[in-house]
Every structure is written in structure tokens, then in C-alpha cells.
Amino acid sequence: MKKLIIMAVAMLLSMAAFAQDGKSIYSRYSGKEGVSSVYISPAMFRLMGKLPEMQVSGENINLSSILTSFSGLYLIESENKSINSSLKADVENAVKKGSYELLLEANDSGELVQMYTIGEDIVKSLIFYTVSGDEYTFISIDGNIKMSDLMEMISK
Amino acid sequence: MKSIDEIEKISFEELEAIASDESISAPDGLAESVRETVKAAAICSESRRSRTRTAFVIGAPSLAAAALAAFLLIPTSAPKDTFDDPRLAYEEMERIMGFISSKADAGFSKTVKLSESVESINKAMDKLK
């Protein structure tokens, strides 16, 4: 009985300690000091898809074509040093456990950019992770995104 | 004296007749031995009940703590939308996609420059051959 309880508690704590996807990483760090977070739900993406075409001044990206293929977005921006190392470990763990493939990695003068995807022609999930000085950014996007659309959007 | 096997074979009527026969005397200390056996059985039963109670006293709070930890630490429901207005969400999406585009483009540019460098090195090597 005692062993069973210890095992159950250890299992629950380990599940909580090792966040494994965008949602759990977002839930773990959202609202913490020095962290700004954004969550856009599938319902909000559907609403955005119904908006007439919009252009924000100064921006040159038209999202209308790609927007309907998104089903969820989680963003964590952290300037909290004590959180950054833990966030880094969680991202590495999520990438490993989620069978993501590295699409892009650039490391220059302390600035790191990594982009991971699941799916070849149709991207089911995307993780974008950057480190710039003390600022760590984690973005996770779910959906059914055409790789060609994604590449086109990134290259603009 | 009869053995236990023999006693087990005796019918209830016969046992009753033997019990009511006053000429047969009970062995010395039998009453005391029976009392002690009954007491020992009662102690064993109490000890078993106490062990179950102790396991429950330890187990119940531990299970409750585990359930509470699961409730607090494991995200079960979807998080709340950051924006209520789809227009604001759209603007934020443009900012985020702009951020991804600028960072990824820088990464791709470095890759292109690197591949161009490798290509020019290869050309130089070919000329030397």
C-alpha cells in the first residue's frame, strides 16, 4: 500500500515537472514574474478567419491565407533568469518526446534560433525557440499548415 | 482420552450426552486454557483491525495529497484566451509571425551564405585540380 502511494505521488510529480507540449509549457510559465504569455485558441482562430482582410500599419505580412490552418498558439517570453534554464530544459524535452524534426538552427554571437516541426508536407505542430541575451522566447503553433505556406510566410 | 479425529466423528447427540454425564470430570485447568485461547483470539483480531486502521490513516491523506497535487500541477483544461477581440488577436498574430519571420530569415540567410561559401570553396578546389 505504502509503495503504491509513493509510486503514485512520484508519477504525478514527474508528470508535472516535465512539461511535454506547448500547452503544458504555457500553463507552467504563464503568469510568472518576468514572463509575458499569449494563448490563441482554435475558436479565436476561427473567428479571425471570418474577419475581412486586415493590414496593420508598418507590417507587410498578410496572414489571411495561412490563418485558417492554425488551431492554437502558445507564446512564452521570459526575461526571468531563474525560469530561463528550466524553460530551455522543457523545450528540449518537448522536442525529444514529441518527435519533432529540426528545420532550422542558427547560433550567432549568443543569439540562438531553433525551429522544429512535426510533419513534412503538412505541419501538424511547430516549435519556435529563440534565445537573445537574457530573453528567451518559446512559440508553439498547432494546426494543419502547408509547409509551402509556412516557408512563404517566413521568407517575407 | 479420545483423539481430535475421534471427537470429530462423534455426533452432536453423543457429545450432548457426554457433556451432561456428571460422572465424567473435565481435565484440570481446561476452563483456564479455554479462557486464555479466547483472549488470544480477541487480541489477534484487535491487532488486525488496528493495522487496517493505521494503513487507512496513513493512506487516505497521502492519496488526498496526490489527488490535490494532480489537480494543482497538471493542466487539465485549456488555458483562457489572451484576447477577447479577434482583431486584437489578429494584430498579435501579425506581430508574432513578423518576429518568427525576421528571426528565421536571419537563420536562413546565414545558411545561404554558408552554402555559397562552400560552393565557392568547391569551385576553387576544382580549379586547383
Q: Which residues contact B65 (CB under 8 A, 6 or more apart)?
A: A9
The whole-chain average pLDDT of chain B stands at 78
Q: Are A93 and A20 in contact (CB under 8 A)?
A: yes
Query: For the segment B76-111, what is each residue's pLDDT rounded down to a tens digit?
Result: 577 899 999 999 999 999 899 889 988 887 766 665
Residues of B with a Cβ under 8 Å from any A Cβ are 55, 58-59, 62-63, 65-66, 69-70, 73-75, 78-83, 86-87, 89-101, 103-108, 110-111
Q: Are A138 and A127 in contact (CB under 8 A)?
A: yes
Write down the pLDDT at residue B49: 83
Residue A132 to residues A137, B95, B106, Cα–Cα distance (Å) = 8, 17, 13
* Residue A135 pLDDT > 90: yes
Give the pLDDT mean for A41-70.
74
Above 0.90 for ipTM, yes or no? Answer: no
Comparison of pLDDT for A133 and A16, the residue scoring more: A133
Q: Which residue of A has its CA nearest to B78?
A: A23
CA torsion angle for A59, A72, A97, A3 (degrees, to 10)?
140
B124: how many CB neighbours lie within 10 A of its CB? 9
* Residue A15 pLDDT > 60: no
Whether A54 sits inside 8 A of B90 (CB atoms) is yes
d(CA B93, CA B14): 97
Write down the pLDDT at residue B5: 81
Q: Between A42-49 and B86-128, two packed helices, what is the crossing angle to 10 degrees?
A: 90
CA torsion angle for A15, A70, B94, A81 (degrees, to 10)?
10
| Widest Cα–Cα separation across chain B | 130
d(CA A126, CA A114): 11
C-alpha cell at B53: 486502521
* Residue B74 pLDDT > 50: yes
Kindly list the strands in the beta sheet with A101-108, ordered across the sheet, starting from the edge strand earlier in the chain.
A35-40, A70-78, A135-146, A122-132, A111-118, A101-108
Determine the residue among B63, B103, B113 to mutate to test chain A binding: the one whose Cβ has the most chain A Cβ atoms within 10 Å: B103
d(CA B17, CA B87): 101
Question: Which amino acid would we find at residue B46?
Answer: E
Write down the pLDDT at residue A61: 57
Whether B104 sits inside 8 A of A73 (CB atoms) is no
Three-state secondary structure of A73-133: EEEEEECCHHHHHHHHHHHHHHHHHCCCEEEEEEEECCEEEEEEEECCCEEEEEEEEEEEC
Query: For the segment A69-122, what is each residue's pLDDT rounded down to a tens digit?
Result: 999 999 999 999 999 999 999 999 999 988 899 998 998 888 999 999 999 899
Helix (H, G, I), strand (E, B) or coil at A139: strand
* Residue A13 pLDDT > 80: no
Number of Cβ pairs closer than 8 Å across A and B?
126
- Flag whether residue A9 sits within 8 Å of chain B, measured between CB atoms: yes
Q: Which residue of A has its CA nearest to B62?
A: A5
Question: Which amino acid would we find at residue A11?
Answer: M
- Flag whether residue A23 sits within 8 Å of chain B, measured between CB atoms: yes
Write down the pLDDT at residue A17: 47
Q: Are B103 and A136 in contact (CB under 8 A)?
A: no
Burial class (CB in 10 A: 0-12, 13-18, 19+), A19: buried
